[in-house]
């Protein structure tokens, strides 16, 4: 099932387009009627997603950029406006894996490096897009994580970064709300796609069981007894970008098949 044309005629900038969720957000937003600006470091990956957007009848701009660089981000926003004349929505999906090390042991330099991509890049892009979003009465969606909802061993640096991203999103909602800009977050749990499938294969081989055994064991912790797909998480972002969410800001929508309740 595809989303209704919730974003018909809008321009959505997806900052941080990877092969999984980022690509799904771009293609689902396009299916909902939007033209898409695609940005990440790897141009080849962006071209592949752009082709899928165009096959669906929408326009796509491929704009590679280092989202930790001020000048590169300024150029990205300028290119988007020059191409499409507006920006109605921004999705901050850039992510750098933080060290999976207890906070009592992690190197502070590694935390700083992850913050540059996971938190400060989102702030940078939101600030740069704000004038266009104000003109459009637009919205920002931050892609967060279910790491917010637990304190499992070795997740400290990960949770620290995502908690900072959530706090920033809430503060931006208060600051930008009077300008007509909404800021919300989506917090996925497991996303059953490439990296997770690889991990399940690894666990299955290590434990001498099948991939399906690992899936069933993991899914058993969710209310729906299954794991969300990238497109299902992407649809939550599409909703928050749309006018259907016109009175929603400062919120975090969990998409985890009921693994955690919030």
Domain range summary for the chain, segments of one domain joined by +? 11-190+230-255, 192-227
Confidence of residue 44 (pLDDT cuts 50, 70, 90): confident
For residue 2, the model assigns a pLDDT of 54
Q: In percent, how much of the chain has pLDDT > 70?
A: 99
Q: 10 Å Cβ neighbour count for 109?
A: 9
pLDDT at 3: 59
End-to-end distance of the chain based on CA atoms, in angstroms?
27
Query: Stretch 115-137: mean pLDDT, rounded?
Result: 97
Name the residue with tokens 């300028």. Answer: 78
CB 106 within 8 A of CB 157: yes
Residue 156 CA to residue 94 CA, distance in Å, equals 19
Question: CATH homologous superfamily of domain 11-190+230-255?
Answer: NAD(P)-binding Rossmann-like Domain (3.40.50.720)
Q: For tokens 């020059």, what's the residue?
A: 82
Give the sign of the dihedral formed by CA 57, CA 61, CA 62, CA 65: negative
Residue 73 confidence class, pLDDT cut points 50, 70, 90 = very high
In this prediction the pTM is 0.94
Count the helix, strand and coil residues of the chain and give each as a percent rounded to the nearest 5. 50, 15, 35
Helix intervals (H) in 7-120: 21-31, 43-55, 70-84, 108-115
- Res. 249: pLDDT tops 90: yes
Annotated active-site residue in 158, 192, 199, 215? 158
Instruction: For residues 178-203, give the mean pLDDT.
Output: 96
3-state SS, residue 103: coil
The confidence score (pLDDT) of residue 97 equals 87
Question: Residue 209 has which token pair?
Answer: 């069981």
Distance CA 191, CA 24 (A): 11
Candidates 98, 110, 102; CA nearest to 154 is 102
In angstroms, rounded to a whole number, what is the distance separating the alpha carbons of residues 85 and 242?
Answer: 19
Verify whether residue 155 is a known catalytic residue: no
Measured over the CA atoms of residue 146, residue 148, residue 150 and residue 155, the dihedral's sign is positive
The mean per-residue pLDDT over the stretch 142-151 comes to 95
Q: Quick one: pLDDT band at residue 174, thresholds 50, 70, 90?
A: very high
pLDDT band at 98 (very low <50, low <70, confident <90, very high): confident
């Amino acid at each position: 099932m595809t989303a209704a044309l919730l974003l018909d005629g809008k321009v959505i900038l997806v900052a941080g387009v990877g092969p999984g969720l980022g690509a799904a957000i771009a293609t689902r937003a396009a299916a909902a009627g939007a033209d898409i600006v695609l940005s990440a470091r790897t141009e080849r990956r962006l071209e592949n997603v752009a082709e899928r957007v165009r096959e669906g009848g929408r326009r796509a701009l491929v704009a590679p950029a280092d989202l930790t660089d001020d000048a590169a981000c300024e150029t990205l926003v300028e290119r988007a406006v020059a191409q499409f004349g507006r920006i109605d929505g921004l999705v901050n999906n850039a992510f750098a894996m933080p060290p999976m090390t207890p906070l009592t042991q992690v190197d502070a330099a590694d935390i700083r490096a992850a913050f540059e991509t996971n938190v400060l890049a989102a702030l940078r892009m939101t600030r740069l897009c704000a004038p266009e979003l104000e003109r459009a009465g637009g919205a920002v969606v931050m892609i967060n994580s279910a790491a917010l909802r637990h304190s499992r061993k070795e997740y400290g640096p990960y949770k620290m970064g995502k908690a900072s991203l959530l706090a920033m999103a809430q503060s931006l909602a208060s600051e930008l709300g009077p300008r007509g800009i909404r800021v919300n977050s989506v917090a996925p749990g497991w996303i059953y796609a490439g990296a997770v499938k690889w991990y399940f294969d690894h666990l299955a081989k290590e434990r001498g069981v099948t991939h399906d055994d690992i899936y069933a064991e993991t899914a058993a912790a969710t209310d729906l007894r299954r794991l969300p797909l990238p497109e299902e998480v992407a649809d939550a972002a599409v909703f928050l970008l749309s006018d259907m969410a016109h009175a929603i800001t400062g919120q975090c929508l969990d998409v985890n098949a009921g693994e955690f309740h919030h």
